[in-house]
Structure 1
Amino acid sequence: MAYTILKHLHMTTAYLTVTLFALRLLLDMVGRPGWRQTPLRWIPHANDTILLVAAIGLIVVTPWMPFVHGWLTLKVLLLVGYIVAGVFALKPAFGKPVRVVAAILALLQVSFIFHLAMTKTLPF
C-alpha cells in the first residue's frame, strides 16, 4: 500500500516538475520573464521537495539502492545533470544560445530519467 501511494506521488510530482520547467522555459523564450514575480517562482521548489521525499520513501520501502542498482545510479546522476542544465536554462544572466542548449540538454536528460524509471534497465 505504501509503495503504491509513494510511486504515484513520485510519478505525479515528476510529471509536474517537467511541466513546470517547460512552462517556465516557454515563458522565458516568448519574452515573459514576469513569471519570476509570481508563485510560479516557488511552486516548482515545493513540488520538487515532495518529489524528493517520495523518492526517499520509495528507496526505504523497496530493495532498490543507488550505487547498487545501475539504472538507479544513472538516474541519480542524470538528475544532477538535469538540475545543473536547468539552472543554466532558466538564469537570465546567461546568453540565449547557452540557455537554449542547456534547455535541450535538460529535457534530454529528464527524458532519459523517465525511460530508466519505466524500464529499470540500462541501455548499454
Structure 2
Amino acid sequence: MTYLTLKYLHIGCVVLSGTGFFLRGVWMLRESPWLQKKVVRVLPHIVDTVLLASAIAMAVISAQYPFAADWLTAKLIALLVYIGCGAMALKRGRSKQQRALFLVAALVAFAYIVSVASTRNPLGFLAWFA
C-alpha cells in the first residue's frame, strides 16, 4: 500500500471517528437509545483500529516518529488527552454536566490534533495566538 493510499485511508478514518464521537456525545447528552445499538458500540473500535494502523504504517514509511518529530509527539500527547476526555465524556463522567464538559474538551483536543496534522506544527491552531 502506498503512502498516499494510507494517507487517504487515515483521513477518511479521522472523519468517521470524529463524526462518530460527536454523534455519540450528542446521543449521550440526549440519553438516546441509539447508544445501545450494537453497531454503535462496535464500529468505533473498528474505525479507530484502522486509524491507528494507518498512522503507524505512515510513520514507518515516512520514517517520522513521535519523540523524533515534534509535531508527531504533540499529536500523540493530544491523542492521549482526547482518549481520556472521551472516556470521561461517554462512560466515566459522574453527571451529565461533567460529561458535557469532557465532551467539549475532547472535541477541542480532536480539533487540535487535526490542526497539528494539517500544519505539521506542534502548536497547531494555537500558533494563531502566538
After TM superposition, the score normalised by the length of structure 1 is 0.93
Query: 2:49: which partner in 1?
Result: 49
Distance 1:28 1:59 in 2: 34
The reply to whether residue 110 of structure 1 matches residue 110 of structure 2 is yes
Question: Stretches of 4+ moved more than 4 A in 1?
Answer: none
Number of equivalent positions? 124
1:92: Cα distance to partner?
6.2
After TM superposition, the score normalised by the length of structure 2 is 0.89
Distance 1:91 1:108 in 2: 18
Distance 1:92 1:69 in 2: 33
Correspondences of 1:1-124 after superposition (within 5 Å): 2-91=2-91, 94-123=94-123
Contact 2:75 2:122 in 1 (8 A): no
Relative to structure 1, is the Cα distance of residues 52 and 113 closer, same or farther in structure 2, using a 3 angstrom cutoff? Answer: same
Distance 2:93 2:82 in 1: 19
1:45: Cα distance to partner?
0.4
Distance 1:54 1:107 in 2: 21
List gaps (5 residues or longer) in structure 1.
none
Distance 2:58 2:32 in 1: 37
Contact 2:86 2:106 in 1 (8 A): yes
Q: What percent identity do the matched residue pairs reach?
A: 34
- CA deviation map 1:20-45 (0-9, x unaligned): 00111111112214422331111000
Distance 1:11 1:93 in 2: 29
Contact 2:81 2:109 in 1 (8 A): yes
When structure 1 is superposed on structure 2, of 66-75 and 25-34 the one drifting more is: 25-34
Distance 1:92 1:32 in 2: 17
List gaps (5 residues or longer) in structure 2.
none
Amino acid at match of 1:76: L
Secondary structure in structure 1 of the residue aligned to 2:65 = coil
